[in-house]
Structure 1
């Protein structure tokens, strides 16, 4: 049976490709999308999801025999689309327009007006548009589905999940099957600041409340939370020369923008926002797109929830380790930074050399009663993901 999933997203570039992978994956049953602020404003996030569905609908109108490629694109099984939080639990609202553009998809609103959604529809053939907020919708899904069966895929800030825990932590802890979260940077630089990954930078207060300090509620079940930090997602890439060779031979950002008549509607859609992504990544010295959120969806596909009487396990090729950290919430330079307690690492320094045993004793900086967070440290490999992605999303 497919894994029921709630996808919590702020659809920017990598979220959009991750959603395409989810729609094309028979292992998943998408129950809802809860869209929120993040890389772009809330209204843009919702419109970007409409653009995803519009591109698939146009593609299948031209290629009706490929319907089986998109098992979650079904008139009879409509995911709910609900609006989530418009800002973090506390603090200022931050976006990532420098990378994703003003509309979240490389400014395709201006660069490719043929891909625009004229106005948000009141009805949608493939989505159930809900007037209720994301917290209510997600809690109702957990109530309606068998206990421990639903995976919550967090591709954006953790604000919505934190608000769910505030609303009914007992329901969440009793019934959620697994949380798969893309976020944070442990032993590598950040991608939004020198220290922080964007999702955790956007709402470090939610991270603190959910994973570190749980005075407001019972706390998430640690054995059912999988964190995929930049440490593991960054090495997974979609090289643009590979994309040009395998997916879109006409993809050439230096010559002219993508033309709809030269390729399938779905390829035209992805090429249209990857144009700007490539320009930005080349400025960063890399001719490839990092597949952060795509790795999270892949992890959810490969690692379904487990029953209450079963131990936590990972699929072959997947490994992880428990890490103890805290998060900086208000620092001018370090907001969103995961501060790891390196004194817990036996390899951090040899005893008796540069530090005394007394310096290794716990202090008030870290709460030693809080267990670590299980972080994915190994996947079956970037090549395996790249093959899966190109086969499922683009049919190559």
Structure 2
């Protein structure tokens, strides 16, 4: 792998996991964060903008108290300022949606009210010397960087809705298609339930029109060059998690919940900052039966760090992007539902050619009745196969190949695979379809990286 830093643009809607992903990016020597482009999404663009300022303020306070930690936050520098600009505040088409139900009104679990000590007093540029606060539209900032940096060196990391990227492509399609090095995107759900509704992941739900325009246009010459694109859907990101008891053990022994809020005394500012916005997150997640935070956006930043652009990458659009050891991808074909009352944002996969589907000509009702009868005989456990089963949040699903069970933080496993079964992408060959990450070095590896880089903890 090249030792040159990867120039990156981070397109984000902070958001709890976005901020943790940003902290990882700022603490990663492999990359240089050229710009942070704000998007609507988890909350409104104004609140998301302030959340980035809060993050920089927390790092500043950390380094004031612990100047020896400066080596960790390599992208927090007055010499190489990161541009902060506001992008789109709504989707290409349709109604505006947010995820405030999960992230809170301010995007960080309500810390504006619960932890006023973390609020930013002044938005003046002089108070944020590591940032270049740009009044230029975010999409123009990003396009200027794509044009000015060496060809095919920039990685564009999309952690929110894809509206900004769609607008950038509209501004100068030829420049983006020719010059972008790699796009790494967190979004979508293929073979697992959604997280915003039963079938849709939030980023895609928020602007399915942008996803359609970029990934599955009617004319593929009008979309992104998919040989330089990587998608991390919920299928691969959900198994990556940091369990809150483990966070308490390794990072903040005083961490609990909103009932026992974090206090800045006696703990590093970064720890106080993350514990403060984890409090409500923990309460929301335990309502879903899971005492852990899922590392969706963090996994995308990790992927971009470990898989830099390849300047002489094979121009064949059917070829998968080059990946480092421990990472795997495959192409998946899907449509994007944009207008459905119940299915907006769904990745619609044609499974009619799936060899595991019902045999041609079989009477589905009769087959289902027989399957239900057989299932009823299994130790009293009854599960209809008429619809896909929901993913259990505490235990990994059962796989045909047991070697591909999702790694857990406590297992020490080294890799995470998504479901190892024939897919529409495999059945149709490598030509066509969107490259989707199907394997990473594992949840334990990501948590170890977070502990070391963000909190300075050796595990």
For Structure 1 versus Structure 2, the TM-score category normalised by the shorter chain is over 0.9
Within a 5 Å distance, the mapping from 1:283-322 to structure 2 comes to 283-310=287-314, 312-322=321-331
Paired residues, what number? 383
Counterpart of 1:358 in structure 2 is none
1:115 equivalent to 2:176? Answer no
- Matched with 1:20 is 23
State which of 337, 349, 371 in structure 2 corresponds to 1:328: 337
Indicate if the aligned counterparts of 1:178 and 1:225 stay in contact, CA closer than 8 A.
yes
Paired residue for 2:377? none
The reply on whether 1:384 has 2:393 as its aligned counterpart is: no
Q: Secondary structure at the match of 2:135?
A: strand
**Structure 1 residue 255 displacement after superposition:** 4.9
Native 8 Å contact 1:155 1:293 kept in 2 = yes
SS at match of 2:10: strand
Q: Which whole-Å deviations, capped at 9, do the CAs of 1:190-215 have from their partners, x for residues lacking one? A: 11111110100000000011111255
Cα pair distance change 1:341/1:73, threshold 3 Å: same
Secondary structure (helix, strand or coil) at the match of 2:8 reads: strand
Q: 1:79, 1:126 within 8 Å by CA — same for their partners in 2? A: yes
**Preserved CA contact (<8 Å) 2:258 2:279:** no
Q: Give the TM-score taking structure 1 as reference length.
A: 0.94
Of structures 1 and 2, the larger Rg is shown by: 2
Deviations 1:316-363 (A, max 9, x none): 1111111000011111111111101113433334456569xxxxxxxx
Aligned counterpart, 2:57:
54
Alignment of 1:149-188 (within 5 A): 149-188=153-192
Residues 220-257 of structure 1 show CA distances to partners (whole Å, capped at 9, x for unaligned) of 11110100000000000010000000000010117510
Shift of 1:180: 0.1
Q: Is the 8 A contact 2:258 2:280 kept in 1?
A: no
Gaps in structure 2 of 5+ consecutive residues: 365-428
SS at match of 2:303: helix
Cα distance in 2 for residues equivalent to 1:303 and 1:214: 29
- State the alpha-carbon separation in 2 of the partners of residues 255 and 291 from structure 1: 24
Unaligned ranges ≥5, structure 1: 356-367
CA RMSD of aligned residues (A): 1.7
Q: Please say if 1:246 is aligned against 2:234.
A: no
C-alpha distance in 2 between matches for 1:344 and 1:232: 23
| CA shift digits 1:263-309 (9 cap, x unpaired) | 11000000000001001000111000000000000000110001235
Q: Residues of 2 paired with 1:144 and 1:349: CA distance?
A: 53
1:194 aligned residue (185, 195, 198): 198
Aligned with 2:101 (options 86, 93, 98) = 98
Secondary structure of the structure 2 residue equivalent to 1:80: strand
User: What residue number does 1:218 align with?
Assistant: 222
Give the TM-score, by structure 2 length: 0.81
Distance in 2 (alpha carbons) for counterparts of 1:108 and 1:217: 45
Distance 1:309 1:334 in 2: 36
- Could you tell me which residue of structure 2 aligns to residue 65 of structure 1? 68
Whether 1:271 and 2:275 are equivalent positions in the alignment is: yes
Question: Is the CA contact 2:83–2:133 (under 8 Å) kept in the aligned structure 1?
Answer: yes
